[in-house]
Structure 1
Amino acid sequence: MAVLLLRLAGPMQSWGTQSRFSVRDTGREPSKSGVVGLLCAAMGVPRDDEDSIARIAAMRMGVRVDHEGTVASDFHTAGGGTVPGRKKYGVFKASGASPSTVTSTRYYLADAVFLVGLESDDRRFLEQLDSALADPCWPLFLGRKSFVPAPPLRLGVHDQGLEDLLRTWPWHPQRSHQEPPDHGLRMMLDSDDPTDLARYDFPVSFRKDARRFELRYVTISRVSPREITKEGAPCTYPD
């Protein structure tokens, strides 16, 4: 087995799995659908290409939370007010009703850092994904289009088991945290056991008019500070 390793970090990220209408949530760590979407953007996979989406989603995913970040919210408005020369101004509605102001509350993570691994027995496919991330077909973002990833994003392909790699990969100090927390780092791994924690974020289709997701099961554990070393991760940006 081999693992494609990513570092997802940036000023802001958002990994919503329950967003409806005017409230846009975020999870405390990257969702499977969000990571698959990132890789699909890199590869240029269309929203309705369910076979390609399934191939990427089938890989086992693990996440190590190197820095928890802070949950924050933003009150967002679209439309409203007046524009010279336009009688109607606002957000158009599918019903055909007059445009109007739309408001929403959007949650996001500030200053979070995640180590994400995707495991597969097809090393060549992982290398193709890694190459696509270096020269993506479409812009990459961390859950929302305005949330761009900070370098280094790519940490390479490794011939090592997913859990072992996440437990032993060097921890990169932050300006506000020079040592790993005493209680360790949270880690989530995909599981086949239906008695484990369920999350509704396994993507089937990203079609705008028919997004579809299925249940995914995960185990949660902690990585002891004794298992990791405090070193900077090797930078692969630019090559």
Structure 2
Amino acid sequence: MSQYLIFQLYAPLVSWGEAAVGEVRHTSSIPSRSALLGLLAAALGIRREDEQRLGVFNQHYAFAIRPLSPREQWLRDYHTVQVPKENRKRRYYTRRDELILSTDEPGTMLTSREYRCDALYHIAVRQTPEAPFSLDEIAGALSAPIFPLYLGRKSCPPALPLNPLIFEGTLAEVFHKAYADSSYCFLCEELAAIRAPQLFCIWEGEHEGVSEFATQLRCDQPINRSRWQFKTRTQHTGYLTEEC
């Protein structure tokens, strides 16, 4: 029997960044590990520049994700971005340096941003014995976060309370308990309609109560926040083995 912290994520628009190459910024259908770690760290008040605390924090929590939106709806928006002229004689380490230090008049480039609409998830968190924060402490932080929370982009704040709850059991059991808990509030019939008891689940690590049918590598384990470096991890996809 394992202990899990379960919380919900819902927003009209979310954007879980994939590898950013070129002018299009794609979104995954589920939150990345780096996005979930960043959300917990923000709730706990860990600053982005505190590399030492983040480095320790990022090693001690495993996530499982249960999507609850039965339909896939996507939105693509465009942004205009300032782009200085190419200068092969000078090396810039950040885009801020490029804009400030460049002597040429910047041009513009159109870029696209993808969003997922009406996205609803249950997120399960399991800690290691050496974790710097207990599940109870994280639950308290999610109920009263120190820094603002957002779902991938600052334009995507949560539209419902995260309502963190702690359960014991297999992964399937705790997801079913969270789904059935009456304390999860839904604001209207239209929002309740997107909540469906799907058995589909994505997780990392080993858990009881799930049956795997696919494994993939995702490059979303943070290494260095200031340099935006990540490494790959193994992600499993399957079904909850116990019926709702």
Q: Same fold (TM over 0.5)?
A: yes
- Map of 2:190 onto structure 1: 175
How far apart are 1:51 and its partner, in Å?
3.9
Describe the superposition over 1:154-180 as per-residue Cα deviations: whole angstroms up to 9, x where unpaired.
Answer: 232223343431255326886373773
Conserved in 1, the CA contact under 8 Å of 2:42 and 2:147?
Answer: yes
Instruction: Give the count of matched residue pairs.
Output: 212
Conserved in 2, the CA contact under 8 Å of 1:61 and 1:119?
Answer: yes
State the one-letter code of the partner of 1:203.
P
- Map of 1:84 onto structure 2: none
Structure 2: gaps spanning 5 or more residues: 84-95, 207-213
Q: Are positions 1:66 and 2:94 aligned together?
A: no
CA distance in 2 between partners of 1:104 and 1:131 (Å): 38
- Map of 1:154 onto structure 2: 163
Give me the TM-score of the superposition, normalised by structure 2: 0.74
How far apart are 1:12 and its partner, in Å?
0.4
Alpha-carbon distance change, 138 to 189 in structure 1, aligned in 2, over 3 angstroms: same
Conserved in 2, the CA contact under 8 Å of 1:14 and 1:109?
Answer: yes
- Map of 1:29 onto structure 2: 30
How far apart are 1:78 and its partner, in Å?
4.3
| Between 172-181 and 18-27, the greater mean CA deviation after superposition | 172-181
- Map of 1:75 onto structure 2: 78
| 1:93 aligned to which of 99, 114, 120 | 99
Give me the TM-score of the superposition, normalised by structure 1: 0.76
Q: Secondary structure at the match of 1:128?
A: helix
1:161-200 correspondence to structure 2 within 5 Å: 161-170=170-179, 175=190, 177=193, 180=196, 184-191=198-205, 196-200=215-219
- Map of 1:126 onto structure 2: 135
CA distance in 1 between partners of 2:123 and 2:224 (Å): 22
Describe the superposition over 1:139-167 as per-residue Cα deviations: whole angstroms up to 9, x where unpaired.
Answer: 10000011000222123222334343125
State the one-letter code of the partner of 1:199.
R
Identity of aligned residues (%): 26
CA distance in 1 between partners of 2:145 and 2:237 (Å): 31
State the one-letter code of the partner of 2:53.
S
CA distance in 2 between partners of 1:144 and 1:175 (Å): 24
Alpha-carbon distance change, 179 to 9 in structure 1, aligned in 2, over 3 angstroms: closer
Conserved in 1, the CA contact under 8 Å of 2:68 and 2:195?
Answer: no
State the one-letter code of the partner of 2:112.
T
How far apart are 1:19 and its partner, in Å?
1.6
- Map of 2:10 onto structure 1: 9
Alpha-carbon distance change, 133 to 73 in structure 1, aligned in 2, over 3 angstroms: same
How far apart are 1:52 and its partner, in Å?
2.9
Conserved in 2, the CA contact under 8 Å of 1:36 and 1:57?
Answer: no
CA distance in 1 between partners of 2:190 and 2:47 (Å): 39
State the one-letter code of the partner of 1:188.
I
State the one-letter code of the partner of 1:65.
P
Structure 1: gaps spanning 5 or more residues: 81-90, 229-239
Q: Secondary structure at the match of 1:29?
A: coil
How far apart are 1:202 and its partner, in Å?
1.0
Q: Are positions 1:219 and 2:236 aligned together?
A: yes
